[in-house]
Amino acid sequence: METYEFPVERLDRIRDLFVFSCYTGISYVDIMKLTKDNISIGLDRNKWIISKRQKTNTPIKVPLLEPVMEMIKKYEEHPMIIVSGTLLPKITNEKLNVYLKEVAILCGIKKNLTFHMARHTFATTVTLSNGVPIETVSKQNGTYHLNIAKGLCYKGVGEKEKAIAIIENQIKLNEAEDFVGAYDYLHLGVLYLETGRFEQAIEVFEKQSQNNDLAENQYYSALAFLNLDKPTEYKSSLEKAMKLYKEGKQISDPYSNPMDKIYLEDIENQLKNASKNINDE
């Protein structure tokens, strides 16, 4: 999307606003009121956006990455900027989201693209990949302040041991309060699975089953059993996963493709593998 050449300038502007939010995590309403006065030189001698969120009045302090600075420069002499005095072209939220659908179609994006997804991208990938501490993300974007989300952010950039430590600790704290999130055990179990701790993964997946059984939980349990050379349990877990999937018991997120989510094709492929293994025996 970032490099796509649109046939009309209107869609080019919409794409730029979306990408700007991806790189800064700033919401639509706060982007619309940014001016050159909001750009300052930080103690690190780099440029930062300094502002306050309209919704909560909490500070916004975001380092300007190179793509963002290029975008700001691109619109410096734009007629709309000269009139409005803002950092980027202004547009109503309604038109923004309507035009985003056109952007998605032209770029071949099948998801229902919304502006909120840009902030999700910032919180889960852009910040950590560019050396911005997760604590900054937490203060900037309250939606992702929970430690479970922090752990998943670290997983997303390959720091799985750090992710495990964070999620393990948060689950212990939650258990002490007799509370566990809907997917907490699942995410920890998948991390164990991905780091070769198959027995631990199965233990945690069993806890997930007791708390909130999901197709994903049974699917990943099956993979753990496969690695432990337990074909009967492997196939049984896959059959449970299929049943749960058809009942609609899956991870869901209205804004994005959630981490550790699976699809029907994943289960079907593993079931074929299970049947092949049994026939080979």
Give 2's contacts (C-beta < 8 A, 6+ positions apart).
15, 19, 67
64 and 117 together in one domain: yes
114 and 196 together in one domain: no
102 and 226 together in one domain: no
For residue 128, the model assigns a pLDDT of 47
Return the axis-axis angle of helices 93-107 and 9-24, rounded to nearest 10°: 100
Cα–Cα dist 45/59, whole Å? 20
- Residue 135, in any domain of the structure: yes
Cα–Cα dist 265/242, whole Å? 10
Per the structure, the count of domains in the chain is 2
179 and 89 together in one domain: no
CATH of the domain at 125: 1.10.443.10
- Residue 4, in any domain of the structure: no
Residue 143 is given by DSSP the state G
Extract the runs of DSSP E, i.e. beta strands, from 102-259. none
139 and 15 together in one domain: yes
Residues of the chain under the 70 pLDDT cut: 44, 119-147, 149-150, 153, 157, 177-179, 253-257, 277-281
103 and 211 together in one domain: no
131 and 188 together in one domain: no
33 and 90 together in one domain: yes
82 and 138 together in one domain: yes
